[in-house]
Amino acid sequence: MMPTRIHMLDMPRSEAVEAKIQARAGRLARFSKDVQKCEVWLESPHQHHRKGCLYVVRIRLTVPNEEIDVRLQPESDDVYVAIREAFDAARRKLEDHERRRRGQVKAHPRAPGNASRRRLVLTDRDVRAVRE
């Protein structure tokens, strides 16, 4: 199991919430064996009167040669829904990382010839050559 650090900002610690985060972080190991570290920040920065207490969840997964960041503030005022949606987004990003690592990403064919989809930026020398 990967080490998971949990930071709770502007809210009291809760063993039930920490257990839920640990369980969701443990599930991410099924999608990639390369996850080295998982850090989770859970904060309740706003006390909106109309929308209730909205939570912000930030997850940082460390994999070889890359860090995967997710920052999410769902519309729900339930902390468990916020955790679920943030970890679902992290899972999707981790699956995309694994596809890229395995080379299973679909490559689009390039245009024939020297044409490219990239925008060409002309240098001053190129501009002078075009004007002459």
Using one digit for the tens of pLDDT, what is the confidence trace for 58-106?
Answer: 999 988 888 899 998 887 788 999 999 999 999 999 998 888 888 877 6
Phi, psi of 72 (to 5 degrees): -140, 140
Q: Give me the pLDDT at residue 120, please.
A: 54
The domain segmentation of the chain, as residue ranges, is 4-107
Write down the CATH superfamily of domain 4-107.
Answer: Ribosome hibernation promotion factor-like (3.30.160.100)
> Hey, CA dihedral for 37, 22, 44, 10, is it positive or negative?
negative
**pLDDT score at 81:** 92
24 pLDDT above the threshold of 90:
yes
pLDDT of residue 48: 57
Residue with tokens 């060409």: 120
For residue 31, the model assigns a pLDDT of 84
Single-letter residue type at 74: P
CA 48, CA 36: separation in Å to the nearest integer?
37
Mean pLDDT of 45-52: 61
